């Protein structure tokens, strides 16, 4: 059950990366903070892959059209998901946005059904219903809610949808590249994906918002930390997805939610209301039901 260990390790690494990225939004904006994850993570990803390649002499990668299409789709979807998540954290709070992101599992199950014909059991549909109810409770606006908070919840949900596409695409890319050496395929996929993401987002910002690039360069110390944690988390996620379906992997990844809630309370002085707590618990229960049903 190595994939369980890898997924459990990815959860706190991902929260640490999100904490550091959230602090960069003010100067760099959501797109600049998103670039940090890929630009500063790329050198660490290359180093991780080089080590894995040395320890995997029998690997025979097949970088064909299926791999390139899958990893490109995953890379673009991850850029959109990360930007939406960071904006949601800024508007609705760190913990609430993280809970909303958990919609990636039931939505991922639906993407798998439509795109790859994955069959869903009755328990999985029950999990989707429970998660939908939890997200509704979590995101339902109060009468005095600010417009920005409501939009933040919607962005968190959009992030979950984009991450659902990302999970399925990266699983397909790993299986296409080297199915017999999943960790090798995973770390190679991280390098290719982050190269695409850095080139795409860096080029767009250079043309449309060069000030964001300057802000990222000025905060290079925090950016290095975010890049390291992001590369380590991605390597763990990719490897777990290469070993097990996206559903069970994302279920174990629910560990991220309570870690994020604890981080939000300690670092950002955020407190969950009773309604948000109930909604978060329903969401987490639905995620587990969807994965294990």
Mind listing the pLDDT tens digit for each residue in 169-216? Answer: 988 898 899 989 999 999 999 999 999 999 999 999 999 888 888 888
Give residue 199's pLDDT.
95
Q: How many CB atoms lie within 10 A of CB 142?
A: 10
> What angle do helix axes 220-243 and 182-208 make, rounded to 10 degrees?
140
What is the structure's pLDDT at 226?
A: 84
**Arithmetic mean of pLDDT, 234-260:** 77
Reply yes or no on whether the pLDDT at 69 is more than 70.
yes
Burial class (CB in 10 A: 0-12, 13-18, 19+), 202: middle
Q: Residue 260 pLDDT > 90, yes or no? A: no
Residues 90-127: tens digit of each pLDDT: 666 655 666 666 666 677 777 777 776 766 677 767 77
Taking only the tens place, the pLDDT of each residue in 133-159 is: 776 676 555 555 555 566 766 777 788
What is the per-residue DSSP string for 235-271?
HHHHHHHHHS-HHHHHHHGGGHHHHHHHHHHHHS---
The whole-number average pLDDT for the span 53-58 is 92
Q: What is the largest CA-CA distance in the chain?
A: 61
What pLDDT is attached to residue 75? 95
pTM of the model: 0.77
Averaged pLDDT for residues 1-5: 81
| % pLDDT > 90, the chain | 22
Residue 196 has a pLDDT of 96
Cα(122)–Cα(128) distance, integer angstroms: 10
């Amino acid at each position: 059950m190595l994939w369980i260990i890898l997924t459990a390790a990815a959860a706190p690494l991902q929260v640490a990366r999100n904490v550091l990225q959230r602090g960069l939004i003010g100067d760099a904006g959501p797109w600049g903070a998103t670039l940090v994850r890929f630009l500063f993570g790329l050198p660490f990803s290359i180093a991780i892959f080089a080590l894995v390649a040395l320890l995997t002499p029998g690997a025979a990668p097949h970088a064909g059209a299926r791999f390139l299409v899958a990893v490109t789709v995953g890379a673009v979807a991850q850029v959109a998901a990360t930007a939406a998540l960071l904006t949601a954290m800024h508007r609705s709070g760190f913990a609430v946005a993280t809970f909303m992101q958990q919609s990636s599992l039931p939505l991922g199950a639906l993407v798998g059904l439509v795109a790859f014909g994955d069959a869903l059991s009755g328990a999985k549909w029950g999990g989707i219903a429970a998660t939908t109810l939890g997200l509704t409770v979590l995101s339902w606006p109060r009468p005095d809610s600010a417009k920005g908070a409501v939009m933040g919840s919607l962005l968190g949900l959009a992030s979950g949808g984009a991450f659902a596409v990302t999970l399925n695409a990266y699983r397909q890319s790993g299986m296409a590249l080297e199915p017999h050496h999943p960790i090798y395929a995973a770390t190679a996929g991280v390098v290719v994906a982050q190269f695409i993401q850095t080139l795409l987002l860096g080029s767009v910002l250079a043309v449309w918002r060069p000030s964001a690039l300057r802000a990222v360069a000025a905060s290079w110390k925090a950016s290095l930390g975010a890049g390291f944690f992001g590369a380590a988390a991605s390597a763990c996620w990719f490897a777990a997805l290469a070993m097990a379906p996206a559903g069970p992997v994302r279920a174990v990844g629910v560990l991220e939610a309570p870690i994020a809630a604890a981080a939000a309370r300690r670092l950002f002085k955020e407190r969950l209301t009773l309604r948000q707590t109930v909604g978060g618990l329903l969401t987490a229960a639905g995620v587990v039901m969807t994965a294990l049903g």
